[in-house]
Amino acid sequence: MKAGVQVIVGLGNTGSEYVHTRHNIGFDVLDALALAEGLRFRKSWTMPALLAKWRRPVGHVLLVKPTTFMNRSGHAVTRAMRRKGCGSEDILVVVDDVELEAGRIRIRPKGSAGGHNGVQSVVDALGSEAFPRIRIGVGPRPEGKDLTNYVLSKWPEELEETAAKLSRLSAEAAHYAVEHGVEKAMNEYNARRV
């Protein structure tokens, strides 16, 4: 397979209490991408994750939803990379970002964890910050509120449609990154908002 995105990882927590929370938007994006491409996730017997294979003309892209908690996501990422035989530059991590306002996404080829435990787990597992990611705005960071409770809460009713559009836009951006590369996806999507 040609170089490029070969593994897309959505970060989130398993369990019904976390469904459609801000912290689980990485899962929502992969679900939106799977729906658009007619894919189904299945439990993996070789790694702690739900997997879907997105068949492409030049091979397949592996969609990964780790089934560990957020702060142990790196284990599934490294297993998926070994399975695909790819490097860190060939993965795309989809993650919530409380520092970005709701309705915006930001694609980056690398960067720090920025205090996000899921991203830190991937950094620790890879021993590197040099992997592409789509950061999805779930902010602004609340003043005087507990950050953990904020990100683990459901979207308020007035933002549910924004969250759904944000998931679809991010899925579209991930698709574009597969087709055209991360750098072109940055140019195309970093100025967009819902």
Render pLDDT for 33-84 as a digit per residue (tens, 0 to 9).
999 999 999 999 999 999 999 999 888 999 999 999 899 999 999 999 999 9
What is the C-alpha end-to-end distance of the chain, expressed in Å? Answer: 34
Mind telling me the catalytic residues? 23
Is 100 contained in some domain? yes
Which structural domain range is residue 93 located in? 7-189
Backbone angles phi, psi at 145, to 5 degrees: -115, 155
Is 92 contained in some domain? yes
CA–CA distance, 151 with 23 (Å, rounded to integer) = 5
Is 194 contained in some domain? no
Render pLDDT for 114-144 as a digit per residue (tens, 0 to 9).
999 999 999 999 999 999 999 999 998 888 8
Which CATH number covers residue 150?
3.40.50.1470
Is 1 contained in some domain? no
Count of the separate structural domains present in the chain: 1
Q: What is the DSSP letter of 27?
A: H
Is 2 contained in some domain? no
Dihedral sign (CA 8, 14, 19, 23): negative
CA–CA distance, 169 with 113 (Å, rounded to integer) = 23
Is 183 contained in some domain? yes
Question: Tell me, what's the pLDDT at 18?
Answer: 95
